[in-house]
């Protein structure tokens, strides 16, 4: 990663250079303060006072220039308004086109101003965080609260772009009115609103969303996929993205995600009965369910590596292997072979192409719709999780064709085998392999400077304001201190192994992966043993278990809507993180069977609390993880998505193995024995979160 000081200097709008935050000076000041405090020539309170005054001066410089530029934009808009009013009397298409171009020019000027604010906002956040890190003092909280809440706040101008909203509204509204050359003068405020088709309006909207650092449902859902953005892209990347993108291929990618999750959970309601029909104990269902996760630990790595060269071939391989695995799973009943059953589930796990699904979205979907595609990936997973058990509940029929038996236990295998064959045919004829040499064969004609500047602004302003971690900051300091190109190049290289990827993790990221491990372990215990536990305590039928599991799965999207749209805007991520962990712990405690007779309301309520809290925890944890993980883990085979997948998959493997081992003690002890490790891991994760509380945000 290039040091921020160098990046700021390289990306400054030259004519505005004197009005940017003097990041280099302030960084030197922080080092100077540290030295003076160390030798005893300066007191801490004087440092805080002097640094606060320096920040105030820098912000005032930025804000006064910002107000001046807003005035110039307002003046241009007033003149365009006069022309607009004149056109209403005698509209002419040529003049409408000219007027629209005038508003677009103002729109690009506004993008430049938003980019100016963005770079200064990043600089302020970075220097505040650097100050806190150097002096171990929560100065940022004090400074932001004291300045942002003041009635004469200048900081609000930078972090909340106060005043720019009117300019954004004027440009958007007038371009909307003029988007039809025949003169459709419908207002953006009139329902039903017409879509804003001008790209500059989309760019402005994306810039405003990023600048306010707003959290909405779509953005919140997208971060669950842990498809991490790298740094601000080069201007040529937008054309590359467009050439790689193919809508039907994206749909096929999401369909693979959906079908795989259905495949994972469709056997959960019937796995215990299937195991008993083959002469094994009911708790062997843990091994049957977990076999798929065992294989996925390995398949995630080779599929991630394979996606470096192709997307089509691994998806074809995945479909074929999953067809074979499901056919073996279904045939195990007539062959009376538990080995065949386990091998079938192992084959299904070897066909897990989730690493390819993530990689395709990251590499081949244009940046402007990547957030929607990432949210689609998460939604497809959630719907598959709900549809799997629901489908198992429907397949309650029994018949034979020749020597093949079709019943509640074998039909999930047969249905999924047919589904994968249909998917394979669709994939074969419709998937378009993205070009790998598009960068080399890109157009030889370089765009003119004005177009390049516009592309840079449109692209740059769609990125998160700050994707960083402690390690990235250390890379910044090293690169800037040494002035070495080798250090900068080293900081860009992806990890070359799981071990090297692990070494890139900061303590706070390791804690978050522990939290992810914990929640996946707790959820797998709840889901995988549900059929055995409910049959033992309540004599539930397969259909009842399927309805219960489907209802749990259907809570995923509503919970994320509430958290992403409301709760995340009212509380900090670290607060939601800790509260969710505590609620998971409460759900686990309520699930124990101790003295009173175990009842359906106790099981359902405790399971719902545990599952919903784990879903909230997963969303916030991955949202936070996507912002603080090293940028070197955003690319290559051993990326952040692979690490999180491996952590979750290993948790599922251990959980399913725990269920089977606990089964040797009898079904009466199964519930409490399997809940004990969940409780222990949950308590450890809460303690780790509290210990690293300040570094998690």
- In this predicted structure, the answer to whether residue 454 has a pLDDT above a threshold of 50 is no
Give the C-alpha separation, 575 to 526, whole Å. 25
- Listed ranges 47-61, 99-113, 200-214, 380-394; the one with the highest mean pLDDT: 380-394
Dihedral over Cα of 481, 487, 492, 498: its sign? negative
Q: Which residue has the higher pLDDT, 178 or 317?
A: 317
- In this predicted structure, the answer to whether residue 439 has a pLDDT above a threshold of 60 is no
User: What kind and span of H or E run contains 405?
Assistant: strand 404-406
The pLDDT score that the predictor gives to residue 636 is 67
Residues pairing with 399 in the sheet = 406
Q: Which residue has the higher pLDDT, 395 or 190?
A: 395
Alpha helices in 336-469 (DSSP H): 338-350, 354-364, 367-394, 411-430, 449-460
User: What kind and span of H or E run contains 400?
Assistant: strand 399-401
The pLDDT score that the predictor gives to residue 147 is 67
- In this predicted structure, the answer to whether residue 489 has a pLDDT above a threshold of 90 is no
Q: How confident is the model at residue 223 (pLDDT cuts 50, 70, 90)?
A: low
Residues pairing with 615 in the sheet = none
Nearest residue to 422 via CA among 562, 503, 504, 323:
323
Q: Which two structure tokens, joined as six digits, stand for 235?
A: 């201007």
Pick one of 3.40.50, 1.20.120, 1.20.1050, 2.50.20 as the CATH number of 3-184+197-222: 1.20.1050
- In this predicted structure, the answer to whether residue 151 has a pLDDT above a threshold of 70 is no
- In this predicted structure, the answer to whether residue 73 has a pLDDT above a threshold of 90 is no
Nearest residue to 205 via CA among 344, 347, 110, 333:
110
The pLDDT score that the predictor gives to residue 49 is 84
Q: How confident is the model at residue 77 (pLDDT cuts 50, 70, 90)?
A: confident
Give the angle 649-651-654 at the CA atoms, nearest 5°. Answer: 110
Three-class SS of residue 404? strand
Give the C-alpha separation, 481 to 464, whole Å. 26
Q: How confident is the model at residue 421 (pLDDT cuts 50, 70, 90)?
A: very high
The pLDDT score that the predictor gives to residue 260 is 95
Per-residue model confidence as pLDDT tens digits over 19-53? 888 888 888 888 888 888 877 777 777 888 888 88
Q: What is the DSSP string of 531-590?
A: HHHHHHHH---HHHHHHHHHHHHHTHHHHHHHIIIIIHHHS-HHHHHHHHHHHHHHHHHH
Q: Which two structure tokens, joined as six digits, stand for 546?
A: 């399927």
- In this predicted structure, the answer to whether residue 438 has a pLDDT above a threshold of 60 is no
- In this predicted structure, the answer to whether residue 483 has a pLDDT above a threshold of 60 is no
Q: How confident is the model at residue 379 (pLDDT cuts 50, 70, 90)?
A: confident
Of 235-249, 323-337, 453-467, the least confident: 453-467
Cβ-in-10-Å burial (0-12, 13-18, 19+) of 259 comes to buried
The pLDDT score that the predictor gives to residue 179 is 63
Give the C-alpha separation, 200 to 219, whole Å. 21
Of 11-15, 302-306, 347-351, 514-518, the least confident: 11-15
Give the mean pLDDT of the chain: 78
The pLDDT score that the predictor gives to residue 196 is 47
Per-residue model confidence as pLDDT tens digits over 644-669? 888 889 999 999 999 999 988 888 88
Q: How confident is the model at residue 189 (pLDDT cuts 50, 70, 90)?
A: very low
Give the angle 248-459-251 at the CA atoms, nearest 5°. Answer: 10
The pLDDT score that the predictor gives to residue 478 is 39
Contacts of residue 596, Cβ cutoff 8 Å, sequence gap at least 6: none
CB 168 within 8 A of CB 202: no
Q: Which residue has the higher pLDDT, 83 or 173?
A: 83
Q: How confident is the model at residue 497 (pLDDT cuts 50, 70, 90)?
A: confident
The pLDDT score that the predictor gives to residue 233 is 42
- pLDDT (average), residues 261-270: 93
The pLDDT score that the predictor gives to residue 164 is 61
The pLDDT score that the predictor gives to residue 422 is 97
The pLDDT score that the predictor gives to residue 245 is 78
Three-class SS of residue 401? strand
The pLDDT score that the predictor gives to residue 199 is 64
| DSSP strand pairing (404-406 vs 399-401) | antiparallel
- pLDDT (average), residues 201-230: 61
Q: How confident is the model at residue 387 (pLDDT cuts 50, 70, 90)?
A: very high
Nearest residue to 111 via CA among 198, 23, 223:
198
Region label for 493, one of left (φ > 0), alpha (ψ between -120 and 50) or beta (otherwise) = beta
Write down the domain spans for the chain.
3-184+197-222, 247-432+501-692
Q: How confident is the model at residue 257 (pLDDT cuts 50, 70, 90)?
A: very high
Q: Which residue has the higher pLDDT, 296 or 436?
A: 296
User: What kind and span of H or E run contains 71?
Assistant: helix 44-89
Give the C-alpha separation, 1 to 410, whole Å. 52
Cis peptide before 499 (omega within 30 of 0): no
Give the C-alpha separation, 425 to 432, whole Å. 13
Of 178-192, 348-362, 469-483, the least confident: 469-483
Q: Which two structure tokens, joined as six digits, stand for 532?
A: 């055995």
DSSP single-letter state for residue 282: G
Give the angle 133-135-141 at the CA atoms, nearest 5°. Answer: 70
The pLDDT score that the predictor gives to residue 155 is 64
Give pTM, 2 decimals. Answer: 0.68
DSSP single-letter state for residue 195: P
Q: Which two structure tokens, joined as six digits, stand for 425?
A: 């045919």
The pLDDT score that the predictor gives to residue 225 is 67
Q: Which two structure tokens, joined as six digits, stand for 311?
A: 């997307």
The pLDDT score that the predictor gives to residue 95 is 75
Give the C-alpha separation, 307 to 36, whole Å. 52
Region label for 162, one of left (φ > 0), alpha (ψ between -120 and 50) or beta (otherwise) = beta
DSSP single-letter state for residue 122: H
The pLDDT score that the predictor gives to residue 681 is 95
- Listed ranges 235-249, 332-346, 363-377, 456-470; the one with the highest mean pLDDT: 332-346
| CA distances for 196 relative to 172, 176, 180, 513, angstroms | 8, 6, 11, 40
Contacts of residue 466, Cβ cutoff 8 Å, sequence gap at least 6: 122, 125, 126, 627
- In this predicted structure, the answer to whether residue 263 has a pLDDT above a threshold of 90 is yes
- In this predicted structure, the answer to whether residue 684 has a pLDDT above a threshold of 80 is yes
Nearest residue to 367 via CA among 459, 466, 244:
459
Nearest residue to 476 via CA among 27, 17, 49, 19:
27
Of 234-248, 266-280, 357-371, the least confident: 234-248
- In this predicted structure, the answer to whether residue 396 has a pLDDT above a threshold of 50 is yes
Q: How confident is the model at residue 519 (pLDDT cuts 50, 70, 90)?
A: very high
The proportion of the chain whose per-residue pLDDT surpasses 90, expressed as a percent, equals 31
The pLDDT score that the predictor gives to residue 236 is 45
The pLDDT score that the predictor gives to residue 628 is 66
In terms of CATH, what superfamily is 247-432+501-692? MFS general substrate transporter like domains (1.20.1250.20)
What is the signed CA dihedral for 588, 590, 592, 598, rounded to 10 degrees? -140
Q: Which two structure tokens, joined as six digits, stand for 665?
A: 């003690």
| CA distances for 649 relative to 298, 376, 645, angstroms | 10, 21, 6
The pLDDT score that the predictor gives to residue 158 is 59
Contacts of residue 694, Cβ cutoff 8 Å, sequence gap at least 6: 138
Q: How confident is the model at residue 104 (pLDDT cuts 50, 70, 90)?
A: confident
Per-residue model confidence as pLDDT tens digits over 273-310? 999 999 998 889 999 999 999 999 899 888 888 988 89
Residues pairing with 404 in the sheet = 401
Give the C-alpha separation, 486 to 308, whole Å. 25
The pLDDT score that the predictor gives to residue 157 is 58
Q: Which two structure tokens, joined as six digits, stand for 35?
A: 């030295």
Which residue's structure tokens are 């395709």?
Answer: 360
Nearest residue to 685 via CA among 611, 582, 589:
582
User: What kind and span of H or E run contains 504?
Assistant: none
Q: Which residues of 326-347 are buried (b: 16+ CB within 10 A; e: fewer)?
A: bbbbbbbbeeeebebbbbbbbb
The pLDDT score that the predictor gives to residue 3 is 62
CB 565 within 8 A of CB 652: no
Distance of CA 622 to the CA centre of its chain: 6
CB 685 within 8 A of CB 518: yes
Q: How confident is the model at residue 574 (pLDDT cuts 50, 70, 90)?
A: confident
- In this predicted structure, the answer to whether residue 682 has a pLDDT above a threshold of 60 is yes
The pLDDT score that the predictor gives to residue 14 is 79
The pLDDT score that the predictor gives to residue 244 is 67
- In this predicted structure, the answer to whether residue 188 has a pLDDT above a threshold of 60 is no
DSSP single-letter state for residue 399: E
Q: Which residue has the higher pLDDT, 316 or 504?
A: 316
């Amino acid at each position: 990663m290039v040091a921020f000081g160098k990046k700021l200097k390289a990306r400054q709008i030259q004519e505005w250079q004197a009005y940017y935050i003097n990041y280099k000076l302030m960084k030197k000041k922080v080092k100077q303060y540290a030295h003076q405090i160390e030798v005893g020539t300066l007191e801490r309170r004087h440092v805080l006072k002097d640094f606060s005054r320096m920040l105030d001066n820098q912000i005032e410089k930025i804000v006064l220039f910002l107000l001046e530029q807003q005035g110039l934009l307002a003046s241009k808009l007033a003149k365009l308004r006069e022309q607009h009013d004149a056109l209403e009397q005698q509209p002419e298409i040529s003049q409408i086109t000219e007027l629209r171009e005038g508003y677009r020019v103002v729109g690009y000027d506004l993008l430049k101003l938003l980019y100016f604010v963005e770079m200064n906002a990043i600089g302020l956040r970075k220097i505040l965080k650097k100050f806190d890190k150097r002096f171990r003092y929560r100065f940022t909280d004090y400074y932001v609260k004291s300045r942002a809440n003041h009635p004469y706040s200048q900081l609000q101008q930078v972090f909340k772009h106060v005043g720019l909203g009117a300019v954004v509204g004027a440009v958007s509204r007038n371009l909307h009115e003029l988007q039809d050359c025949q003169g459709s003068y419908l207002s953006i405020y009139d329902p039903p609103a017409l879509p804003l088709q001008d790209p500059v309006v989309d760019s402005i909207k994306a810039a405003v969303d990023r600048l306010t650092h707003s959290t909405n449902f779509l953005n919140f859902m997208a971060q669950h996929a842990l498809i991490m953005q790298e740094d601000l892209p080069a201007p040529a990347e937008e054309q590359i993205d467009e050439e790689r993108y193919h809508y039907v291929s994206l749909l096929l990618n999401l369909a693979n995600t959906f079908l795989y999750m259905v495949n994972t959970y469709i056997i959960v309601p019937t796995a215990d009965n299937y195991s008993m029909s083959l002469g094994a104990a009911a708790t062997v269902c843990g091994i049957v369910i977990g076999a798929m996760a065992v294989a996925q630990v390995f398949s995630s790595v080779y599929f991630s590596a394979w996606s470096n060269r192709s997307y089509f071939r691994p998806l074809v391989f995945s479909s074929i292997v999953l067809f074979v695995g499901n056919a073996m799973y279904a045939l195990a009943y007539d062959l009376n072979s538990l080995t065949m059953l386990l091998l079938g589930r192992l084959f299904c796990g070897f066909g897990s192409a989730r690493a390819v699904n993530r990689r395709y979205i990251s590499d081949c979907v244009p940046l402007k719709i990547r957030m929607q595609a990432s949210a689609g990936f998460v939604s497809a997973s959630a719907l598959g999780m709900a549809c799997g058990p629901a489908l198992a509940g429907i397949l309650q029929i029994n018949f034979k064709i020749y020597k093949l038996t079709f019943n509640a236990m074998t039909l999930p295998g047969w249905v999924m085998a047919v589904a994968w064959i249909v998917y394979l045919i669709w994939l074969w004829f419709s998937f378009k392999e993205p070009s790998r040499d598009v960068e080399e064969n890109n157009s030889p004609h370089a765009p003119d400077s004005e177009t390049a500047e516009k592309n840079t602004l449109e692209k740059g302003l769609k990125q998160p304001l700050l994707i960083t971690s402690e390690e990235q900051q250390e890379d910044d300091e090293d690169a800037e201190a040494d002035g070495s190109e080798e250090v900068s190049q080293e900081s860009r290289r992806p990890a070359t192994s799981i071990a090297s990827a692990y070494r890139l993790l900061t303590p706070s990221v390791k804690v978050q992966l522990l939290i992810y491990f914990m929640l996946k372990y707790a959820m797998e215990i709840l889901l995988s043993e549900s059929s055995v536990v409910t049959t033992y305590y309540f004599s539930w039928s397969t259909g009842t278990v399927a309805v219960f599991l489907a209802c749990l799965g259907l809570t995923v999207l509503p919970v994320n809507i509430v958290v992403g749209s409301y709760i995340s805007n009212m509380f900090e991520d670290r607060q939601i993180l800790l509260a969710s962990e505590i609620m998971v712990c409460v759900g686990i405690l309520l699930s124990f069977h101790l003295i009173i007779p175990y009842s359906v309301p106790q099981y359902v309520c405790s399971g719902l609390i545990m599952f919903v809290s784990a879903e909230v925890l997963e969303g916030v944890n991955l949202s936070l993880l996507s912002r603080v993980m090293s940028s070197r883990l955003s690319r290559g085979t051993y990326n952040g998505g692979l690490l999180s997948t491996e952590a979750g998959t290993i948790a599922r493997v251990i959980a399913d193995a725990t269920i089977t081992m606990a089964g040797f003690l009898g079904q009466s002890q199964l519930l409490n024995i399997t809940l004990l490790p969940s409780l222990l891991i949950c308590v450890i994760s809460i303690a780790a979160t509290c210990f690293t509380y300040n570094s998690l945000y």
